[in-house]
Amino acid sequence: MKTMIHEVLHEGKQLKTPQEVIRKMRELRGLRINKAAKLFGRSRCWLQHLEKGRIRINQDKLSQVLEVYSFKEEDYESLLCGKELNISPVEFRPLKVKTVFKNEHRRSYKKIILKEVRVLKILRKSLKISQDKASKLCGYCRPTIGHIEQGRIEIPLSRIHHIVTCYGYSMDDFNALLSSEVLRDEVLEECQDLIVNLPEDKLRVVQNLLKNF
């Protein structure tokens, strides 16, 4: 079954699959599948396939589901972890007209890399862990860490605090890096890129300079 996450444990609980969460969100809104499909501008069959995992759930489709059902990404992540949301169906008033954005207008297609995002990446790299391992530590679906570090997902302070603490750091550590005028890890990366592209004769000159620095 194609999903956005692997079956992993979070706080001792089995994570739900994305399709289970999508169906749960529809049920929380008190929507029958026919009415819900109309909100997407799709057929009942399409929504059934989506909820049963017969259609691949990528970040684009997930963003559309959250928009149609008026849920936040934090709600989605809570449902993934098996948590219950205190929501009454009568609170939901779907829009009659659904605006479908072109890809270039979607948040997931924009790269807005803030300094906070760069600091989170540095903290992950300091632990020498992959994005996949980081997503498991934070209880996120696999692409989430990648989208955060690429600037494709908005990161409120609550999410930053969650990621930082899951990495085993404090907000003081985070703020100390954030206040740095120059991020050391970025300087190292830039230097490495420059060195890799040097011809051999210049590379030896740099080597001698570094040895005698």
Q: Which pLDDT value is given to residue 166?
A: 92
Domain boundary (78, 103, 128) is at: 103
Q: Which pLDDT value is given to residue 167?
A: 93
Q: Which domain holds residue 152?
A: 115-211
Q: How far is CA 137 from CA 73, 129, 162, in A?
A: 17, 10, 10
| CATH number of the CATH domain containing 58 | 1.10.260.40
Q: Which pLDDT value is given to residue 92?
A: 63
Q: Are residues 144 and 84 in the same domain?
A: no
Q: Are residues 176 and 125 in the same domain?
A: yes
Q: Which pLDDT value is given to residue 213?
A: 66
Q: Are residues 193 and 125 in the same domain?
A: yes
Determine the 3-state secondary structure of 204 from DSSP. Answer: helix
Domains in the chain, number = 2
Task: Give, for all 213 residues of the chain, the pLDDT tens digit.
Answer: 333 433 333 444 456 788 999 999 999 888 999 989 888 888 888 899 899 988 888 888 888 899 888 888 888 888 888 888 877 655 566 554 444 444 444 444 445 557 888 888 888 988 899 999 998 888 888 788 888 888 877 788 888 999 999 999 999 988 888 887 656 666 666 677 777 777 888 777 777 777 776
Q: Is 128 left (phi over 0), alpha (psi -120 to 50) or beta?
A: left
Do the domain assignments include residue 110? no
